[in-house]
Amino acid sequence: MKRNNNLASLWNAHAQKQKAQKVSSSTPNQLIIHDQQVGPEIPCEEEIHETQEMEDQEARPENPSDEEIHEEQETEEGIYDVDRLPHDPGKRIPIIQYSANEQDAVRRGYIAKGPCQPRTYNFPQRQIGGKRRFPVRWFDKYDWLEYSVEKDDAFCFVCYLFADTANYVGGDAFVNSGFRKWNQPAKLDLHVGSITSTHNEALEKFTNFIRPRASIASTYIKHTTEEKVKYKARLTYSIGCLRFLLRQGLSCRGHDESDTSSNMGNFKELQKWLGEMFEDVRKVTGQNAPKNCQMTAHSIQTDIINCCAKETSKLIIEDLRDDYFSILADESSDVYQKEQLALCIRYVDKKGRVTERFLGIVHVQDTTSSTLKDAIVSLLMEHKLTLSKCRGQGYDGASNMKGEINGLKTKIMDESPSAYYIHCFAHQLQLTLVAVAKQNDDCVAFFDCVTNILNVVGISCRKHHMLREAQAQEVLEALEQGEIETGQGLNQEMGLGRPGDTRWGTHYKTISRIIAMYPTLRKVLGKISKDKSQSERIKAQNCLTVIESFDFIFMAHLLLTIFGYTDELCKALQKRDQDIINAIELVEMTKFHLQVLREDNEWETFLKDVTSFCVKHRVKVPDMDGFYVPVGRPKRYFVKVKNLHRFHVEMFLSVIDMQLQELNSRFDNISCLLFYYCSAFLFFPFVIIYFLLTGAGLMKLIQSFLFAWLL
């Protein structure tokens, strides 16, 4: 499906980004910290080493004076992934339990995620001085407040990050076990306490942490405004270059990024080019930048990339506000064949347009339904979304997750009953084609033969004489534009891990090309049949025998006709602005056409077409009253029948029936009904107006309403 392709490319681009993120621990705040640290580092390096102790090591940019340190930092960063920190406060481990070197990185990670405030969650009721649930308005009043979906408890974000636990001698619910007394709002103010309270102390630490400018340590550092300006300019250029690369989905790094390298990778080359072109850029980058403030280190690149990702998702969430949305999920394994779950949301934006946006990728250990659901919930939670606002779900029914989809579907519907599952129509159509092509013996034999032809023609062009090569190349190119799998070579292993079940539209192209290039194809195969290489020769001869048969031509024409109808439907379904009611009508229309095709006069026309094609290309047309003799397949597997019966009933009707049956079974389910409901609902106001205007009775109104719903 076209739209899926677009999404897939998005996902791929983001998968790369995500991989880059794994070695980093960056946040937007970190950027601010750079701002503070890098600037001052230039004038007086010695001072910094002293003051640096209390600040985070990892946030520092590359220190070129000793490469080892930088490398050490990178491996340290790689130990754990800040992106995988549990967002739910009930699942977190105390900051103190992280190693001393990691604590600040973890804090920064949590600050970037922000307090866990799932405002749209359906908070459960509990017996707390009468039936009560968590009051959402508390989030507005106390920005430090967090809610754990896991435990149904409230926590303090600031105290979790910075409070000195030794101060809570008696224990504080907001820090330890969680607070659940929804009937006692005064406790929240009590937790904040006086100006010297532990919470306020933690808050001060928090403020200093996110604004190091305010910390006493940094005020000691002297630096010139000029350096600051230059630093900002450098950072801006780095961000600009990275944004360009991200938008184009290009890689940032090169194999050899040293100064002597002839190709330093996209990022550095782009920045170099920019410097060569513009005086302003040259003045502050490359040779003219201090060696410890180049703004090109890998860690800085990943930081900036992360910031871009965060800013982008922030905008998406702002656009969505607290509104309803649907989720679209698909598995996408990365180059290491690791299962990843890519999640997109679909919603109506502020301007009333239906929008689909990529939200992120989560790594999943396995593809069981509960793991998938947890992954989806946690990813949504990171963006302060919950399933309670989910009004639809869509998955790729042909994927590796196929078996688990039903489980996942039910699990999500348990939580949000209105999250209807709707299978993509274009996808479903593809599946009908797959079913037909794989279940019908004649179709399987036909496609096997097509694959063989492609292989024979494909191999010859690598090995043989120039003349034939050119001719074969022409055929091959024409055939391969349809991109049918050839079943040979490494290409299939790499590019097509799974058989292209979802790309069956391309088979239509292949068949139509075979028919269009039939004489050339025969000529090329004929030449290969006289070849010196024995294996080639035999294969080509076998292929030639098959394609010169009436069976092959008959089947090619039949599939071309059937796939022709479905191809039209497929194209119509893939249109971005396709109306769902219209789509259902199109499906019905395709069914109707196929039904018509079954009729006798259609069969006669079809047979006439095939016969005239055979006559034109001098292929022997069997006598319809004679007995059937199979070509290229053993006789003993066929019941002795007349040609007319074989071609009309066993091939023509059975393939059409199978396609019809598949269409009926796959498109006649709850999703169709749901769409009828929707349409009935849409037109309901007009129905009322009609009845009011015509003065029809109330009973009639109700009757018609019921009728629309039962449709």
Minimum separation from the CB atom of position 135 to Zn ion (A)? 18
| Dihedral sign, Cα of residue 399, residue 404, residue 409, residue 415 | negative
Candidate ranges 82-90, 104-112, 154-162, 543-551; the one touching Zn ion (CB under 5 A): 154-162
Candidate ranges 42-50, 151-159, 346-354, 610-618; the one touching Zn ion (CB under 5 A): 151-159
Minimum separation from the CB atom of position 202 to Zn ion (A)? 6
CA distances (Å), 568 to each of 131, 332, 665, in order? 58, 28, 20
Nearer to Zn ion, 201 or 662 (CB): 201
What one-character DSSP code corresponds to residue 260? Answer: T
Rounded to 5°, the CA angle 65-71-75 comes to 155
Candidate ranges 149-157, 209-217, 295-303, 336-344; the one touching Zn ion (CB under 5 A): 149-157
| Dihedral sign, Cα of residue 641, residue 645, residue 650, residue 652 | positive
Nearer to Zn ion, 41 or 172 (CB): 172
Minimum separation from the CB atom of position 157 to Zn ion (A)? 8
* CA–CA separation, 161 and 102 (whole Å): 13
Q: In this structure, which amino acid lies at residue 636?
A: R
Applying the rule CB under 5 A, the residues between 89 and 148 that interact with Zn ion are: none
Give the pair of three-digit tokens for residue 79.
């130990």
Applying the rule CB under 5 A, the residues between 381 and 410 that interact with Zn ion are: none
For residue 68, with 0-12 CB atoms within 10 Å meaning exposed, 13-18 middle and 19 or more buried, which class applies?
exposed
Q: In this structure, which amino acid lies at residue 246?
A: L
Minimum separation from the CB atom of position 214 to Zn ion (A)? 20
Minimum separation from the CB atom of position 162 to Zn ion (A)? 9
Nearer to Zn ion, 164 or 609 (CB): 164
Give the pair of three-digit tokens for residue 593.
């056409």
CB atoms < 10 A from the CB of 29, how many? 19
User: By CB under 5 A, is residue 509 in contact with Zn ion?
Assistant: no
Minimum separation from the CB atom of position 193 to Zn ion (A)? 9
Minimum separation from the CB atom of position 192 to Zn ion (A)? 7
Nearer to Zn ion, 178 or 392 (CB): 178
Applying the rule CB under 5 A, the residues between 296 and 355 that interact with Zn ion are: none
Nearer to Zn ion, 144 or 628 (CB): 144
Minimum separation from the CB atom of position 666 to Zn ion (A)? 55
Minimum separation from the CB atom of position 118 to Zn ion (A)? 19
For 515, phi then psi, to 5°, come to: -70, -40
* CA–CA separation, 228 and 42 (whole Å): 10
* CA–CA separation, 386 and 412 (whole Å): 11
Nearer to Zn ion, 189 or 609 (CB): 189
Minimum separation from the CB atom of position 29 to Zn ion (A)? 19
Name the β-bridge partners of 346: 326, 356
Nearer to Zn ion, 159 or 361 (CB): 159
Nearer to Zn ion, 204 or 356 (CB): 204
Nearer to Zn ion, 203 or 419 (CB): 203
* CA–CA separation, 110 and 198 (whole Å): 20
* Among the listed residues 1, 106, 159, 614, the single contact to Zn ion using CB under 5 A: 159
Strand pairing of 126-127 and 131-132? Answer: antiparallel
Nearer to Zn ion, 145 or 295 (CB): 145
Nearer to Zn ion, 199 or 423 (CB): 199
Cβ-based neighbours of 67, under 8 Å, separated by 6 or more: none
* CA–CA separation, 61 and 52 (whole Å): 12
Q: Token pair 């039209």 is at which residue? A: 568
Candidate ranges 67-75, 157-165, 324-332, 576-584; the one touching Zn ion (CB under 5 A): 157-165
Question: H/E/C letters for each residue in 159-185?
Answer: HHHHCCHHHCCCCCCCCCCCECCCCCC
Nearer to Zn ion, 199 or 539 (CB): 199
User: By CB under 5 A, is residue 156 in contact with Zn ion?
Assistant: yes
Candidate ranges 158-166, 298-306, 371-379, 387-395; the one touching Zn ion (CB under 5 A): 158-166
Strand pairing of 340-348 and 420-421? Answer: unpaired
User: Half-sphere exposure of residue 88, counting CA atoms within 13 Å on the CB side?
Assistant: 18
3-state secondary structure of 467: helix
Minimum separation from the CB atom of position 406 to Zn ion (A)? 44
Binding mask 186-215 for Zn ion (x = CB under 5 A): -------------x----------------
For 577, phi then psi, to 5°, come to: -100, 25
Q: Which of 372, 380, 417 is nearest to 399 (CA)?
A: 372
Minimum separation from the CB atom of position 179 to Zn ion (A)? 10
Nearer to Zn ion, 155 or 231 (CB): 155
Please, what's the b/e burial string for 430-460 (b: 16 or more CB within 10 A of its CB; e: otherwise)?
A: bbbbbbbbeebebbebbbebbbbbbbbbbbb
| Cα torsion through 344, 349, 353, 355, rounded to 10 | -10
Name the β-bridge partners of 361: 342
Minimum separation from the CB atom of position 211 to Zn ion (A)? 19
Candidate ranges 44-52, 150-158, 425-433, 446-454; the one touching Zn ion (CB under 5 A): 150-158
Nearer to Zn ion, 188 or 558 (CB): 188
* CA–CA separation, 363 and 132 (whole Å): 37
Minimum separation from the CB atom of position 203 to Zn ion (A)? 7
Size of the site for Zn ion (CB under 5 A): 3
Minimum separation from the CB atom of position 344 to Zn ion (A)? 36
Minimum separation from the CB atom of position 215 to Zn ion (A)? 20
End-to-end CA distance of the chain: 29
Cβ-based neighbours of 361, under 8 Å, separated by 6 or more: 11, 14, 15, 18, 332, 340, 341, 342, 343
For 329, phi then psi, to 5°, come to: -125, 145
* CA–CA separation, 211 and 339 (whole Å): 39
Nearer to Zn ion, 159 or 362 (CB): 159
Nearer to Zn ion, 48 or 159 (CB): 159
CA distances (Å), 324 to each of 162, 327, 419, 671, in order? 35, 10, 10, 19
Minimum separation from the CB atom of position 167 to Zn ion (A)? 11
**Interacting residue ranges for Zn ion, rule: CB under 5 A:** 156, 159, 199
